[in-house]
Amino acid sequence: MNGGYQHLKSQDIILEEELSYNNSRSALLDPLDTLQGTTIPIGELEEAPQGRHMGVFSVMVMYISRILGSGIFATSSAVYESCGGSPFLYFLAWFFAYILAISGLYIYLELGSLIPRSGGTKVFLEVIYDKPFMLVSVIFSIYTVLFGFALSGALIFGEYFLDFLNIEVNEFRSRLTGFMFVLFACVFHSVSLKHGLFVQNFIGALKIVLLVIMTLTGLYVFLPSSFTGIERQLHSETFFEIKGDVSVASMTNAIIMASFTLAGWNLSHASSNEVKDPNRTYKIAGPLSLLIVICGYTAFNISYLWVLTDEEMVKSGNLVGAALFAKIFGSNFGSKFLTFSIAVCTGGNIFVVIYSISRMNQEVFREGFLPFSKFLASNQPFGTPMRSIGVSLVLTGFLLATVPEGNFYRYLVSVEGYPVQIYTLAVAVGIIILRKRYPGSRAPIKTHMVGVIITIVFSSYLLIAPFCSRNGGNPKGSESWVPYPIISLLVLLICIIYWSIKFVFFPWWNGYSLVPEAIELEDGLKVKQWNKVSARYFG
């Protein structure tokens, strides 16, 4: 079928389907989970044309590759300084970051077990906030496509990979190198699902090895200094000592920066339709992956304070990881190993980001309300979402070519990240809404309400805090620019305007209703197309 009246069986069928549709809670949502008289509309469950090919290890690789980037090697100095140089407050900030990550993970595990469909946050919000019709879908979908790029990863990879090869680093070379790696990742994921996943798993396995090395490094520094040659800097008598300025605001900033290094636990559900036995797989892979990361991070943080002096921790800045490795393993081997490790971590992160973004984009294009949706959603010609991957590649290349030097990309990351806090807050509140709306429902994986409250409080603070600052919380170097929350909210406003025009104004002005129709593409993928049904049938 190809859209329009001519593709509907009859006007009577149109009327019957539309009336039934209007009386339902949400479009094309079929009751799948009925427990104790409670029906949760979670949509039609269909198998992805790619099949269910991801097991526990592949999902763990997605989690770990997305979480472990350059953050732990670069931000720890800033976290330490924000804590006033206090080891106790430093570990406390990381403890809160771990709690927040675990709370968020289990919120997604519960929703993923109740709504086992690809799309992650998108489908969760659609089920929870189903009115006004299509509003949440349009807002999240357009945002997902607009910010579906791998800019920061490309920039970091280019810089560290060139440095590892002893090639002089400049802006053009690092951006070109980063783009070439993004292109490499896109080609692999586009041409072959099997080979793309193999490379992703291989790099992910290297990250797991790196986490093991990080953990062993933490154990190594505990050996006698006569063997290691390392002078111990962490002592019990100075553990609670505060050496610099510290406040509630600076501690909050420390927790935010620590949480940044753990970001990525919410992306795996974007490809649930490709996961074998999703409930079992996520229940094992999610917590185990986060546990592995937390162990590695904890060992590394202990190593920082055990090996580096207070002055070295503060002055090393973004190179604190290099300072640690250089002091333990020597300046030549240590620095080179760290540079290679960051390049590997960032490269693996790019592979997972491209994979996750392409699945999210494909779910957006399947909704059918954006231009060229059917073409962009297709899995042809290689049985992969190559066209959705292409959208991410084009956006990344455009930004690498046009974004000015300096801190603009950090500003762009902030613009992208602010709506994420809105979605995280909405999802956390959604857990409470679903439990109230469907009291008989029993999720196969359930989170504790304490974790839900923690997530709500923290996300609310992150949304409010920038407006309490004179520069809107802009990153250093962009203080004079428009506050990033304003830009983020303007982007969301544009999404709302698009929804208002397509689903409210035009139908009202021209006297028709938009009716979704499920069609199947040649590759077997099911998508929606929107048919205009005259309002005279709905008197």
CA distance 271 to 513: 32
Confidence of residue 7 (pLDDT cuts 50, 70, 90): very low
pLDDT over 50 (residue 12): no
Residues 156-182, mean pLDDT to the nearest whole number:
85
Classify residue 477 as left (phi > 0), alpha (psi -120 to 50) or beta: left
Q: Give the C-alpha separation, 306 to 324, whole Å.
A: 10
Name the residue among 484, 264, 278, 438 with its Cα closest to residue 352: 264
Q: pLDDT-derived band of residue 45, with 50, 70 and 90 as boundaries?
A: low
Residue range 334-370, pLDDT digits in tens? 667 777 877 877 787 788 788 878 877 888 888 888 8
The H or E element spanning position 429 is: helix 408-437
Asked whether the predicted pLDDT for residue 50 surpasses 80, the reply is no
Nearest Cα to 71, choosing from 326, 362, 356, 297? 297
Residue type, 318: N
415 touches 489 (CB < 8 A): no
Predicted TM-score (pTM) of the model is 0.71
Query: Which residues are registered as beta bridge partners of 526?
Result: 520
Distance CA 160, CA 149 (A): 20
Residue 477: how many other CB atoms lie within 10 Å: 12
User: In sequence order, what are the beta bridge partners of 95?
Assistant: none
State residue 36's pLDDT score. Answer: 37
Q: Which is nearest to 138 in space by CA: 283, 251, 27?
A: 27
Q: In 10 A of CB 329, how many CB atoms?
A: 16
Q: Which domains does the chain have, with CATH numbers?
A: 5-538 (1.20.1740.10)
Q: Examine the pLDDT at 498 and tell me if it is beyond 70.
A: yes
pLDDT band for position 385 (cuts 50, 70, 90): confident
> Strands 526-534 and 31-35, how do they pair?
unpaired
Task: Report the 10 Å Cβ neighbour count for 430.
Answer: 20
- Rounded mean pLDDT of 103-131? 83
User: Per residue in 220-234, pLDDT tens?
Assistant: 888 887 777 788 888
CA 156 to chain centre: 18
Whole-number pLDDT of residue 472 = 63
| 31 or 151, higher pLDDT | 151
How many CB atoms neighbour CB 106 within 10 A? 22
pLDDT band at 51 (very low <50, low <70, confident <90, very high): low
Q: How many helices and strands (H and E) does the chain possess?
A: 22, 4
**What's residue 30's pLDDT?**
39
- Distances from the Cα of 83 to the Cα of 92, 94, 320, 336, 387, angstroms: 9, 11, 16, 29, 46
Q: Using only the alpha carbons of the chain, give its radius of gyration.
A: 25
Across-strand partners of 512?
Answer: 534
